Amino acid sequence: MLDSAQKGDYAYPAINCTSLITINAALKAFSDMKSDGIIQFSTGAGAFASGMSVQDQAYGCIVLAEAAHRLAAKHDVLVALNTDHCQPQAAAGFLDPLLDATAERRARGEGNLFQNHMLDASALPLEENMAISKEYLKRCAELDIVLEVEAGVVGGEEDGAAGSEDTPAHKLYTTPEDMVAVHEALNGIGRFTFAATFGNVHGHYKPGAVKLRPDILKEGQAAVAAKYGESAKFDLVFHGGSGSALDQIRETLGYGVVKMNVDTDTQYAFTRPIADHMLKNYDGVLMVDGEVGNKKAYDPRGYLKKAEEAMAARIARACDDLLASGKTICGQV
């Protein structure tokens, strides 16, 4: 999938999911658009999926991943599974058991539970970041898993991500020197993707609040290629894709972006029709003034179907934005 996207100058929408409904929304969109794609789970999603009385991040992600495997089997597109933004302090209790789960599946002759994991050590100095990234890249390579790493800080906040709204501006831009250092540290160990930062911010902000500089990616790739050749260029990841201008999204595709994370926009798309349903059916979803309400109005399936459909429509737009529509390689591999 990564090679195909890189060769074709398109990228995959990476959709954060937290439930069967949101997984199905992503699968519907990918199928409708004949686009391959990525479904990913955060530590917070894992804790949520495991239930309020359990709160086990890794176990919840295993449950979600197993369900995604079963559901994806009914669709004629390729879907990769990823985990998102695991900080080093959480890795032993999150990434380690997930890697073990894939190892156990492979020992039984089954395929990987996950194809990709993200280790987000971007809050650490680069040397420390690369030291821990090396160790996890070695472990991932043994299991044919791609590791996603990050250098620089994505602003905003997203399910425990390292940045914050007051992140100093200079830290939102990965330097060409940093990009060269990442290549030198990780090259030759195993396949990895790189979330270089270029002013991107988690969340949704009013126009003008976020200063994206896609040229940062161009300059960094050029620095790596100048020293180590064109083949050294990265498979890049665009974090904080929600709310980004289409021309800037498309510009990053020419600089090697093959994956763009979309979460905030899909959360809103999911919630908006639920809010609409509740407001329009107030007397039905609530037993107001001693009345009995309307079971059809408060049956969760009614409004959650609307949420799934709306989320799928937003993901379909992301497939178009990233030029992935109609480009599934399912059946070719």
Phi and psi dihedrals of 194, rounded to 5? Answer: -130, 120
- At the top level of CATH, the class of 2-270 is alpha beta
* Alpha carbon distance 12, 14 (integer Å): 6
pLDDT in tens, 261-290: 999 999 999 999 999 999 999 999 999 998
pLDDT in tens, 302-332: 999 999 999 999 999 999 999 999 999 998 8
159 has catalytic annotation: no
The pLDDT value recorded for residue 162 is: 46
The pLDDT value recorded for residue 164 is: 44
The pLDDT value recorded for residue 170 is: 56
What's the whole-number average pLDDT of the chain? Answer: 93
- Please identify which of the residues 84, 178, 263, 265 carries the catalytic annotation: 84
The pLDDT value recorded for residue 152 is: 79
* Alpha carbon distance 84, 67 (integer Å): 18
| Bridge partner residues of 40 (DSSP) | 16, 82
pLDDT in tens, 147-162: 999 997 665 555 555 4
Q: Give the start-to-end residue ranges of the domains of the chain.
A: 2-270
The pLDDT value recorded for residue 321 is: 98
* Alpha carbon distance 40, 120 (integer Å): 14
Cβ proximity of 314 and 62 under 8 Å:
no
Residues of the chain with pLDDT under 70: 153-171, 202-210
The pLDDT value recorded for residue 159 is: 58
pLDDT in tens, 203-221: 555 545 557 899 999 999 9
pTM of the entire predicted model = 0.93
* Alpha carbon distance 286, 303 (integer Å): 14
